[in-house]
Structure 1
Amino acid sequence: MSAATILLVDDSPVNLSVLRSLLGKDDHEVIAADTAEAAIDLVRGNPTFDLILLDVSMPDMDGVEVCRELKEDPATMHIPVVLISGVRTDDASVRRGLEAGADGYLVKPIEDVALRAWVRATLRISQLQRELAAHAPPAPASNNAVLRMFTKLCHNVNNPLQALYASADMLALRFADDLENRKLVAEILAQAERVAQIVARASYAAKQRLGE
């Protein structure tokens, strides 16, 4: 996985510093915003970020609403957004975040290895979707409620799929010196890749038929 450009959105200077240092270990370029308004301006001014890590509890605007606004904008909807919260950790909050279009919802405290694994998983799924969009032929447009439901289902599948990727990634680190277990982890990752490709193809086909 090549290095990515990641936007960190958090009103805590300490959190921004820690996350910047952590993601720098994987050579990612990290840009920080300490307000929701600044984050929106950055993304709309240059919508080329590979990933946005967005704290839910921002002082000037709810992080979930920031996510919703970016996902409703055709110019920025393609950027994966992972919400992070240490307060709103109940199922209803997670569901609200995912319904706003978030590509993941992480609950603090997050182990360093787990966060880096989640970032790699999210970037991998996003990369698969971009590669598919670049090579797949266009499909005829239509407007169908079933297709919209199917597109939403594909989006929701990505969250547990990211968890599978991240968990396998952490196992690979744990069993780095164990050849037999490394083979098992490699098989898990290979199957996760197959599922990710199936979901990406299905989602892309549905969106094309909807003209999105």
Structure 2
Amino acid sequence: MIERAEYCVLVVDDHEPSRYATARALRAAGFRTIEAAAGAEALELAEYASAVVLDVHLPDLLGFEVCRLLRANIGTASLPIVQVSAIYVTEQDKLTAREAGADAYMTAPVDLDALVGALDQLLGRPGGGRG
């Protein structure tokens, strides 16, 4: 099991109540968190994160594009990324997320225990995020 306090999760969601609830649940599980409300902000903050929980529907960029840009940047290329959406929920959307580089895809509202479990697994793998 990982030492969650060593890891900072970037929670990206333009819907403030959802972002707050996700970040709060992750902190309650022992992670440190930082938050972003848009894709450009997420790209700026990602270098400080160990993993990213990334909403797909953002006001400036789709989360799929944010994911591609994170993967293209050497400093963030290996960050574990969990994409989340209440709108983009088809099998094609999930495939698009995988093709963009997402490690996992969850439909909102997210089961927070499942999210914590996914982060534990992704951060615990070799090369899985920086502490």
TM-score, with normalisation over the residues of structure 2?
A: 0.89
In 2, the alpha carbon distance for the partners of 1:74 and 1:124 equals 20
What is the alpha-carbon root mean square deviation over aligned residues?
1.3
Identity of aligned residues (%): 27
Alignment partners' CA distance in 2, 1:63 and 1:89 = 13
The CA deviation string for residues 114-142 of structure 1, in whole angstroms up to 9 with x for no partner, is 222112112112xx236xxxxxxxxxxxx
Rounded Cα–Cα distance in structure 1 between residues aligned with 2:102 and 2:112: 21
Determine the C-alpha separation between the residues in 2 that align with 1:17 and 1:79.
Answer: 21
Q: Distance in 2 between matches of 1:33 and 1:12?
A: 10
- In the alignment, what sits opposite 1:142? none
Dislocated runs of 4+, deviation >3 Å: none
> Which consecutive unaligned segments of at least 5 residues does structure 1 have?
131-212
SS of residue paired to 1:57 = coil
Q: 2:118 aligned with 1:115, yes or no?
A: no
Aligned position for 2:41? 38
DSSP-derived class of the 2:87 partner: coil
SS of the residue 1:82 aligns to? strand
Alpha-carbon distance between aligned partners in 2 of 1:106 and 1:94, rounded to the nearest angstrom: 9
User: How far did residue 48 of structure 1 move?
Assistant: 4.1
**Counterpart position of 1:129:** 127
Q: Any idea what the Cα deviations from partners look like across 1:77-113, whole Å, max 9, x if unmatched?
A: 0111111011111111100110011111111122222
Is 1:59 the counterpart of 2:62? The answer is no
Q: Does structure 1 residue 5 correspond to structure 2 residue 3? A: no
Deviations, residues 130-156 of structure 1 (Å, cap 9, x unaligned): 6xxxxxxxxxxxxxxxxxxxxxxxxxx
1:18 aligns with 2:21: yes
Structure 1 residues 175-190: aligned runs within 5 Å: none
**Structure with larger Rg:** 1
Larger RCO: Structure 1 or Structure 2 (Cα < 8 Å, ≥ 6 residues apart)?
2
Which structure has greater strand proportion? Answer: 2
Stretches of structure 2 lacking an aligned partner (at least 5 in a row): none
* Secondary structure of residue in 2 paired with 1:54: strand
